Amino acid sequence: MRFNKSPTTINEQIALLRERGMRVDNDEDAKNWLKGVGYYRLSAYWLPFENPPEHGQTRSKRFRSGTNLQKIRDIYIFDRKLRVLLLEAIERIEIHVRSRWTYHMVHEHGSHAHLSHELFTGALKHAEQLVRLARAVEKSEETFIIHYRSKYTEPYTPPLWAATELMTLGELSKWVQATKNNSIKSAVSRDLHLPSRELLESVLQVFSYVRNICAHHGRLWNRRLVKRVPWIRRYRSDLVAVTTGGQTQPDNRIFNVIVILVQLLHQQSTDSTFSKRLRDLLDTVGDEERSAMGFPEDWRNRPAWNLSATQNKGA
């Protein structure tokens, strides 16, 4: 079937929302939101408030009684603030892993360990990673890269402690995963307070995925993530599991990602206010909105949320 829908004006969009049962109390305010955010982007936030579709339909396009645009706006603002907080948390983990992996690699294998094919699995993939890194060096206007290029002619790529500063979290996770020296990966796992190098690799992949959602302004609220956090036994009292088709596995909503972040950050910096700021934000929405993110009813009583209850000073 060929797509043949015509674009609608802002006034037509407001009329359509009312026709479908949404309460819009202030037309000017609604216009500003639809202009600034867009009907299509906001629709992801009001879709869960539609009535269930009839048999054979994908959507009812009718809102539940009591649905109003103000609530949709509040959820959107909450989601935006949540992304900012999670970006901060993932940044701290990323920098920690970058620092520890680099430290162990250069002390074990030298300043340019990343140039040695024999230290990494998959010669072709390693070559591709080096090409991407060389391009990043070539394009970089960072002071430390300019200094290296002006002073040294070889190797072209700067030492690992500088090169990692040009890597995204996704790229860093691939370098860590490809590292042949399992003792180094195990050391980084211990530094991060994760029980194994396999869990380190899985957690980094999930964090990279969630970071990309946040960085590209994607929705976290009421979202099923493509990547699940691994089951970490030491955090079993925090994690939520679901059973599908007879198989039990961690729930793939954002709650499980959040509790692992809270736990790992606590191990790094017990004076961080991150947990309190996150909890304060979560308290601005209701049980229904938290449930849509995978939060259990007893979430406040689980270990992650009581680690720093009396430690509210610091960064």
pLDDT tens, position by position, 233-254: 999 999 999 998 889 999 999 9
Q: What are phi and psi of 112, to 5 degrees?
A: -115, 45
Q: How far apart are CA 276 and CA 75, in angstroms?
A: 20
Q: Is residue 112 part of a domain?
A: yes
For position 309, what pLDDT does the model report?
Answer: 46
- Helix and strand tally (H, E) in the chain? 13, 2
Q: Same structural domain for residues 63 and 82?
A: no
Structure token digits, residue 299: 């979430």
Q: Which band of pLDDT confidence, cut at 50, 70 and 90, is reported for residue 156? A: confident
Q: Give me the mean pLDDT over the 120-140 stretch.
A: 93
Strand partners, 68: 23
Q: State mean pLDDT over 160-184.
A: 95
Q: Are residues 269 and 175 in the same domain?
A: yes
pLDDT at position 191 over 70: yes
Identify whether residues 173 and 58 lie together within a single domain.
no
> Nearest-CA neighbor of 250 among 282, 225, 268, 280?
225
Together in a domain, 199 and 147: yes
Domain that holds residue 224: 78-306
Q: Domains in the chain: how many in total? A: 2
Q: In this structure, is residue 73 part of a structural domain?
A: no
Q: 20-37 pLDDT, tens per residue?
A: 999 999 999 999 999 999
**Residue 38 is assigned to a structural domain of this protein:** yes
Q: Are residues 152 and 197 in the same domain?
A: yes
Regarding whether 82 and 32 lie in a shared domain, the answer is: no
- Residue 3: inside a domain: no
Residues 116 and 35 in one domain: no
Name, in order, each residue with C-beta under 8 angstroms of 293's C-beta and a sequence gap of 6 or more. 220, 221, 222, 223, 253, 254, 255
Q: For residue 55, is pLDDT > 60?
A: yes
